[in-house]
Structure 1
Amino acid sequence: MPIEKDVNPHFEDFLFDWESKFYFLVGGYGSSKSYHVALKLVLKLLQEKRTALVVREVYDTIRDSCFSLFAEIITDLELDGRIKLVTSPMQIRFPNGSKIIFKGMDKPSKLKSIHNVSIIWIEECSELKYEGFKELIGRLRHPKLDLHMILSTNPVGKGNWTFKHFFKVVALDDELLYKSRILIVKNTYYHHSLADDNLFLPKSYIDQLEELKKYDPDLYRIARKGRFGVNGIRVLPQFQVKPHYEVMEAVNKIPADMKRAGFDFGFVTSYNALLRIAIDHENKILYIYWEYYKNRMTDDRTAVEISEFKQTKELIRADSAEPKTIKYYRQQGFNIRGAKKFPGSRLQYTKKVKRFKQIICSENCIHAIEELKDLTYKVDKDGNLIEDEFNVDPHTFSAIWYALDGYEVSDLKKVKKKREGGNLF
């Protein structure tokens, strides 16, 4: 029988488009993206016999979100008599043999029993780990039917895997999506939505979202504007990226004794991060102009790849917690020594870097940019900042710490001492 349903115009194209393999929906609160994903699945499974899998990170959150949303839509379409909702285990069965099953990634063993899934919907996909996303791609298989994966989320920080996978990897500027609203890039359909796109929302709800601008700009960006960005307080708000030639023009004017190298050691999950920096002491500007960044590298292989340091005899200040590694590089002819570490040194080094008025990074240092541009502080369970812990493990930040060993950036207290006849250093 024909089905009539009023839908939000911004979602009409999405509802009936099945040409792409991946559908990535991101938007603000109340935009109706989840509703239209659920409606899209109901319409498809009525039309074709398929098995769809609906996933959230935690299984117990599905009943009050996705499952109840399907129940609302089925009732609204007056399909209660044709489509059966089973509550234990949660499942939705269609008259043509189609079904929707629900799983949580907190119980990954339950995924092994799933077969012939041709559509997967990951709700609040940013909550999943990247490994979970890749595991689900492996579960998406059917001998005959086209395969589709739908991912929906509110935007989070740009450090989240969803931003890296769907924007950075394909070199898609998120600003282009906010402007275009709908984009198709290769095999992925992108859809951006706001509360304004939901014509069924009361104005009072949108007014509430607007109020966030006054007291919570981070949540305003997410909930009202539906944009990725920085969640939390940035560690280095003075960090900026400039063209490499422009950075080198400034670096070449800086004396040799103000050019330094710092080395943070890593292997499996962490990285070898070696940076060259230059200090404009007078203007209190820190330049980052060269980087080496790799993991799963043995010391002998790394020594070959950074052999230029052995030839130039540049002093490398490195992580003193790895004395054996430092000794090895010395034996290989490198001019290297351990940087000072002491209780509270993480915090002191962080404060030292923050005292620079500007931190200018070459566009060529892509890993330094990725780690430092949106680096934010961790918070404890009470929401208080932890001043020496961060949202990611920034190996390039550690390399800068070590490079600055023995150098002190003057702060306001020391400037006052100088005026009173004291010394800066």
Structure 2
Amino acid sequence: MTPLIEKEVNPHFEHFLFDWNQKFQFLVGGYGSSKSYHIALKLVLKLLEEKRTALVIREVYDTHRESTFSLLQEIVSDLGIDHVVKCRSSPLALTFRNGSSILFKGLDKPEKLKSINNISIIWIEECSEVSYEGFKELLGRLRHPSLPLYMMLSTNPVGQDNWTYRHFFRDEQLKRFVLDDETLYKKRTVVIKDTYYHHSTAEDNLFLPKSYVKQLDELKEYDPDLYRIARKGYFGINGTKVFPQFEVRSHSDVIEAIQQIDRPLKRAGMDFGFVESYNALIRLAVDHEKKYLYIYWEYYDRGKTDDETAIDLKEFIESKELIKADAAEPKTIHYFRQRGFQMVAAHKFQGSRLQYTKKIKRFKKIICSDACPYTIYELQSLTYKADKDGRLEEDEFQIDPHTLSAIWYALDDYEVTDLKQTASERVRPNRERRSIQ
């Protein structure tokens, strides 16, 4: 018999506690919103009512003891159900008198998952720290011969490049749309097919000290990125953008703009890949007078041999377009040349990554066709990597942008004029300028 329980909870979570209508329950929000607490409470209440085995996951197993396990231990004590639920510290587990149990695992030890059977509920805490491959592996572990299956996920929002955003909201790369995150921020709870979405902030936790909320508010003054995540609970660009001047326009508008350029500089650049990396080939055009860079065509694929890629790109043989390619792959370049491609190695040198990136940043605008989803995915939200002291590394990024490498190579012998005018240029604005072709 389930014991009678009385517990005061935050009103914003009341409906969530007893709603088991969707397989996936995705809770996202700011710091201190109590989302993890209410997931833990919901899990205990369910396992008191039904005999189930639940699995609690974090990326690193050792982080459970001071987080999820400690939280569940606190809830058992607060509910006064120590006589029906036992908390075991080695190995970490909760066992219920009705036969239910809660197990704790980390994805840093994936072999430990193989021996677990009949898991009907999985809770992934801090799911943004788990890899997408880990998430899909856990879906395969969620199985039971008769009970409905559930997966609960909790996280603070991070960058829009994280798999949690791409899977549960939108993936520009795959042109996949599920839910506009702005809609969730306004409605607070949303149901889309088999997923229950829940958004929360510090205001939703009535038990949170005002001093803590004040600390979160102060973030706005010195760390706007963290303020967005911690205080507002919003996804967004996490870090400093590499190309703030990047914008997306319709393909027809981009082509029309290129046609209006007086003597446009057209180039093609290619970065090679195979298994982990991608073959990326970009066609671009430069408006030298305006200092605009247009990206209007892309090829982006992996796992193909050179002969398969050559077939995909045979139009370049017919058009005799010059392709500047990665100099680190001379054998590949030689192969393509033998097949009839006009392909040469781009110039690479010590520090070329940084110099090429600075060159691209000098364009006043980088305008990308909406027919180039992979370029948009990699460059629109591209941010710098920071070192352990928080300093930006100007030649390192949060992802490996293959399309950017292709652009580097395409423009390796082109120089964007420095946007700062010299004193003589200001005095003699009509002097003759040499056109770079």
Q: Give the shorter-chain TM-score range.
A: over 0.9
Contact 1:125 1:162 in 2 (8 A): yes
In the alignment, what sits opposite 2:99? 97
Does the alignment pair 1:203 with 2:225? no
In the alignment, what sits opposite 2:81? 79
Aligned counterparts of 1:101 and 1:53: Cα–Cα separation in 2: 5
Contact 1:254 1:278 in 2 (8 A): no
In the alignment, what sits opposite 1:273? 280
- How has the CA–CA distance of structure 1 residues 417 and 277 changed in structure 2, closer, same or farther, with 3 Å as cutoff? farther
**Any unmatched runs of 5+ in structure 2?**
none
Specify the code of the residue in structure 2 equivalent to 1:163.
Y
Pairwise mapping of residues 336-355 of structure 1 onto structure 2 (< 5 A)? 336-355=343-362
Q: 1:371 aligns with which of 374, 378, 388?
A: 378
Structure 1 residue 9, shift from structure 2 partner? 1.6
SS in 1 for 2:363: coil
Does the alignment pair 1:221 with 2:221? no
Spell out, residue by residue over 1:344-397, the C-alpha distance to the aligned partner (whole angstroms, 9 max, x if none): 111100000000111111111100011001111112222222111110000000
SS in 2 for 1:157: coil
Structure 1 residue 413, shift from structure 2 partner? 5.8
The answer to which of 364-373 and 9-18 deviates more is 9-18
Pairwise mapping of residues 15-414 of structure 1 onto structure 2 (< 5 A)? 15-169=17-171, 170-171=176-177, 172-255=179-262, 257-412=264-419
The answer to which of 311-320 and 40-49 deviates more is 311-320
Aligned counterparts of 2:394 and 2:422: Cα–Cα separation in 1: 24
Structure 1 residue 36, shift from structure 2 partner? 0.4
* Percent of residue pairs identical: 67
The answer to which of 190-199 and 218-227 deviates more is 190-199
Aligned counterparts of 2:370 and 2:424: Cα–Cα separation in 1: 37
Q: Name segments (4+ residues, structure 1) moved above 4 Å.
A: 412-425
Aligned counterparts of 2:35 and 2:15: Cα–Cα separation in 1: 13
The alignment covers a number of residue pairs equal to 425
Spell out, residue by residue over 1:153-188, the C-alpha distance to the aligned partner (whole angstroms, 9 max, x if none): 001111111112222255122222212211122221
- What's the RMSD between the two structures over aligned residues? 1.8
- How has the CA–CA distance of structure 1 residues 201 and 137 changed in structure 2, closer, same or farther, with 3 Å as cutoff? same
- How has the CA–CA distance of structure 1 residues 322 and 192 changed in structure 2, closer, same or farther, with 3 Å as cutoff? same
Specify the code of the residue in structure 1 equivalent to 2:39.
V
SS in 2 for 1:145: coil
Structure 1 residue 2, shift from structure 2 partner? 2.4
Contact 2:55 2:119 in 1 (8 A): yes
**Any unmatched runs of 5+ in structure 1?**
none
SS in 2 for 1:224: helix
TM-score, scaled to structure 1: 0.96
The answer to which of 33-42 and 381-390 deviates more is 381-390
Specify the code of the residue in structure 2 equivalent to 1:301.
E
TM-score, scaled to structure 2: 0.93
Structure 1 residue 257, shift from structure 2 partner? 4.9
The answer to which of 108-117 and 212-221 deviates more is 108-117
